[in-house]
Amino acid sequence: MSYTVLARKYRPQKLSELIGQDTLVKVITNSFRLNRIAHAFLLTGSRGIGKTSTARIIAKGLNCIEPSNNNLPTVDPCGKCETCISITESRHIDVIEMDAASRTGVSDVREIIDNIDYKTVYARFKVYIIDEVHMLSNSAFNALLKTLEEPPEHVKFIFATTEVLKIPNTIISRCQRFDLERIDNQLITKHLSDICNREDIDFSASALSMISNVSEGSVRDALSILDQAIIYSDGKLESNHITEMLGLLDQNRSLKLFEMILNQNHNGTITELEMEIKDGIDPYSILNGLMDINWKLMISKIKNEDFTLYDLSDDNFQLLKNISKKMSKSVLSRCWQILLKIHEELKYAPDILSTLQMGLLRLSFLANAPEQSDLLKLIYDSKSLSKENKPSTEKPLDLKDDELKKKKIEINNFEDLLVALKKEKNITLLVELEKDLKIISFKSGEIKFDLIPGSNTEIISKLTNFLNGYTNIDWDLIHLEKKDAKTLLELKKENEINLSNSINENNIVQEIMKNFPGSKISKSSLN
């Protein structure tokens, strides 16, 4: 008898066997119980988290013929009837599985449409499971739209995809969507532990924890690695087997390397890197090991917890504790940013080893650099020393009180605002405000306004940023609809017209106009 790999052997056959998908299980269970089953399901999420398995479970639940189910759909398929067995083995005539990665064209979808009206052969529902549905062409999606919206009563669709953003919204809106979650490492570790016990495999908790971390939330990947590790370790699974098999960096070596970097032991850092690469350890594994330590240090400081949550040996526990004493939260945050930068640089590096060495040396220098607050204090102290013989009226620098705040500049009306914009030479915003903004009310810290139809709404965010920065107070800009409100340009024109009318009505001006027929009052003369 041929061997069945663990990923297939322990594939979930019921909703209750799915791990880490509580929301999906609850909704599907209730929909079956209340007989409110959707005609189309969309299952999304990363690889190996149970999309195809869930699709088959739903198909079995819809068609299970166990007598105790009273010929109704069930969330607890028996797994023993001919229908359940044939669906599990992907040979049921009424449950059609289609791989959209290899059948992408409109002709493949038309084949479904042409056969969809035919009744089932012996199942309760005809179920179409389309895996990697995002690979279908646009024409294929368009051909599917009408059928998907109003399928026959005996037809159900189940779509699975890893890239939901590539699916048209018109398709998504016609489905009941479920976003399957990445499985927590602790849940995966427990699942692996149960399987090892069933398979009678000796194992260490640290080995299973390492497999969980490497699997990145994928149960299928975790089981595949476990399968390989059992063979590699000859049935007795230890953490060193995982590190050797996958080319991972031992946690103790990661901690020692991190400590060398922190202590600016540059020669030791370079030597250790060379040895790890020589031992066949992947450069990304080295970097990921350092990032994992950085993360553990930061989380422990924020939560004010010890490192007992992590699976550490006594030596590693003490080593991590010693490193933690030397590093503040701000330094850890800086280190994280540098490690991310190194990770990005490795993708385009002509020589990975040299790039990694230079990156970690940069980390060593910057990890011990003075913090921003210390630099500001040094600058202030140096200025104070240069002026020590001069009486000073300046307030001493107090970083805790945020002494470096700007002095408030008041803007109490629209004219003040225009003056400020001219002063700061922000002519673009000035022109936009004059043309598009209708002022309803204006006071310090608050503007009520309306916009002319079709105007650029971005001017509001520009104005808010300008006011907040210029006055050093938070402004509220409230958009109200007021049809009789006028822009500044409209108000200017009205003022000019009123002024011109008042001048024309002046007796002296009228006398002049009589004596000089055809003469006009120009805008310059108004000013």
Answer with the residue of higher pLDDT: 118 or 311.
118
Could you tell me if 10 and 127 lie in one domain?
Answer: yes
State the distance between the two ends of the chain, measured CA to CA, in whole angstroms: 103
User: How many domains does the chain fold into?
Assistant: 5
CATH number of 308's domain? 1.20.272.10
Could you tell me if 293 and 359 lie in one domain?
Answer: yes
User: How far is the CA of 326 from the CAs of 95, 103, 251, 367, in angstroms?
Assistant: 61, 58, 19, 11
Could you tell me if 477 and 495 lie in one domain?
Answer: no
Instruction: Please return the burial class of 195, using the count of CB atoms within 10 Å of its CB with bins 0-12, 13-18 and 19+.
Output: buried
* Range in 31-35, 247-251, 339-343, 518-522 the model is least confident about: 518-522
Q: What is the pLDDT of residue 428?
A: 82
Q: What is the pLDDT of residue 486?
A: 78
Q: CB of 364 within 8 A of CB of 266?
A: yes
For Cα atoms 476, 478, 481, give the angle at the middle one, nearest 5 degrees: 170
Secondary structure (DSSP) of 277-340: HHTT--HHHHHHHHHHHHHHHHHHHHTT--GGGS---HHHHHHHHHHHHH--HHHHHHHHHHHH
Q: What is the pLDDT of residue 40?
A: 93
Q: What is the pLDDT of residue 38?
A: 92
Could you tell me if 170 and 233 lie in one domain?
Answer: no
- Residue 217 tokens read as 């939330």
Domain-embedded: residue 399: no
Answer with the residue of higher pLDDT: 432 or 32.
32
Q: Residue 82 above 80 pLDDT?
A: yes
Q: Residue 527 above 80 pLDDT?
A: no
Q: What is the pLDDT of residues 122-174, one digit of tens each?
A: 889 999 999 999 999 899 899 888 889 888 999 999 999 999 999 999 999 99
Domain-embedded: residue 60: yes
Q: What is the pLDDT of residue 405?
A: 46
CATH number of 209's domain? 1.10.8.60
Domain that holds residue 130: 6-179
Query: What is the rounded distance in angstroms from the CA atom of residue 421 to the CA atom of residue 467?
Result: 10
Question: Of 104, 97, 107, 99, nearest to 129 (Cα)?
Answer: 97
Give the β-pairing of 155-161 and 126-131. Answer: parallel
Could you tell me if 27 and 102 lie in one domain?
Answer: yes
Answer with the residue of higher pLDDT: 407 or 299.
299
Q: Residue 485 above 70 pLDDT?
A: yes
Q: How far out from the chain centre does Cα 198 lie?
A: 37
- Residue 474 tokens read as 């938070």
Question: Of 234, 217, 216, 225, nearest to 195 (Cα)?
Answer: 225
Could you tell me if 481 and 433 lie in one domain?
Answer: yes
Confidence of residue 388 (pLDDT cuts 50, 70, 90): low
Average pLDDT, the chain: 81
Q: Residue 400 above 50 pLDDT?
A: no
CATH number of 65's domain? 3.40.50.300
Beta carbons within 8 Å of 208's beta carbon, 6+ residues apart? 189, 192, 193, 196, 226, 237
Q: CB of 487 within 8 A of CB of 480?
A: no
Could you tell me if 166 and 48 lie in one domain?
Answer: yes
Domain-embedded: residue 379: no
Q: Helices (H), strands (E): how many in the chain?
A: 24, 10
Q: CB of 151 within 8 A of CB of 116?
A: yes
**Mean pLDDT, residues 34-62:** 91
Confidence of residue 523 (pLDDT cuts 50, 70, 90): low
Could you tell me if 419 and 300 lie in one domain?
Answer: no
Answer with the residue of higher pLDDT: 191 or 460.
191
Residue at a domain's end among 179, 205, 226: 179
Domain-embedded: residue 358: yes
Domain-embedded: residue 375: no
Q: CB of 229 within 8 A of CB of 249?
A: no
Radius of gyration, CA atoms only, the chain: 36
Could you tell me if 236 and 116 lie in one domain?
Answer: no
Q: What is the pLDDT of residue 519?
A: 62
Domain-embedded: residue 403: no
Q: Residue 305 above 70 pLDDT?
A: no
Answer with the residue of higher pLDDT: 35 or 379.
35
Residue at a domain's end among 179, 209, 238: 179
Q: What is the pLDDT of residue 450?
A: 82
Query: What is the rounded distance in angstroms from the CA atom of residue 5 to the CA atom of residue 8?
Result: 6
Could you tell me if 158 and 208 lie in one domain?
Answer: no
Residue at a domain's end among 162, 179, 196: 179
Please name the residue that has the structure tokens 């700061």: 424
Q: What is the pLDDT of residue 431?
A: 81
**Mean pLDDT, residues 292-297:** 83
For Cα atoms 358, 361, 362, give the angle at the middle one, nearest 5 degrees: 85
* Range in 299-308, 333-342, 359-368 the model is least confident about: 299-308
Domain-embedded: residue 507: yes
Helix axes 314-326 and 283-302, enclosed angle (nearest 10): 70
Could you tell me if 68 and 190 lie in one domain?
Answer: no
Q: What is the pLDDT of residue 515?
A: 63
Could you tell me if 326 and 438 lie in one domain?
Answer: no
Beta carbons within 8 Å of 8's beta carbon, 6+ residues apart? none
Q: What is the pLDDT of residue 73?
A: 87
- Whether this prediction's pTM lies above 0.75 is answered by no
Confidence of residue 351 (pLDDT cuts 50, 70, 90): confident
Domain-embedded: residue 155: yes
* Range in 63-77, 212-226, 295-309, 408-422 the model is least confident about: 295-309
